């Protein structure tokens, strides 16, 4: 089920809709609104007891259940590599396009405990970071 959220004011009604629809989990994308309102979304997910996975590792560190997505510091390092090449004379249009190559899984066991969830040991073993 897709829940339309266009602005901050839509967040709480969206969680109400998910509660009424008995949604079992939520995937939060990494667009401007959801990144800027990340703290509010983490709070609402806890209040509504909705297991939520985020795209950016720091969102799990900030209290979200888990995150699975690109490693942002690694992406910045790759961007710096491209800046360096361009400053040395490379033509930007001739440089290859890259996708993130380092994807990380961050699991917050405190958030899991707050939701009454037990994270399987096999999933914990695959995590890049486990917050206890």
pLDDT at site 2:
85
Residue 61, in any domain of the structure: yes
pLDDT at site 119:
97
Identify the domain containing residue 125 by its residue range: 8-70+103-131
Residue 95, in any domain of the structure: no
Residue 82, in any domain of the structure: no
Q: Are 76 and 48 in contact (CB under 8 A)?
A: no
pLDDT (average), residues 9-18: 95
Residue 119, in any domain of the structure: yes
Residue 41: CATH number of its domain: 3.40.50.2300
Question: CA-to-CA distance for 82 and 97, rounded, in angstroms?
Answer: 10
Residue 91, in any domain of the structure: no
Question: CA-to-CA distance for 126 and 105, rounded, in angstroms?
Answer: 8
User: Lowest mean pLDDT: which of 1-5, 62-66, 111-115?
Assistant: 1-5
pTM score, whole prediction: 0.83
pLDDT by residue (tens digit) across 24-80? Answer: 999 998 888 998 999 999 999 999 999 999 999 999 999 999 999 998 889 999 999
């Amino acid at each position: 089920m897709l829940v339309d959220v266009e602005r901050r004011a839509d967040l709480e009604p969206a969680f109400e809709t998910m509660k009424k629809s008995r949604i079992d989990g939520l995937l939060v994308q990494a667009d401007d609104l959801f990144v800027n309102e990340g703290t509010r979304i983490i709070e609402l997910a806890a209040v509504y007891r909705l297991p939520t996975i985020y795209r950016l590792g720091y969102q799990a560190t900030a209290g979200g259940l888990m995150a699975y997505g690109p490693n942002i510091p690694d992406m910045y390092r790759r961007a710096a590599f491209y800046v360096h090449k361009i400053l040395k004379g490379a033509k930007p249009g001739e440089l290859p396009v890259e996708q993130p190559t380092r994807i990380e899984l961050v699991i917050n066991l405190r958030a899991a405990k707050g939701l009454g969830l037990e994270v399987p040991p096999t999933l914990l073993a695959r995590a890049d970071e486990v917050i206890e």
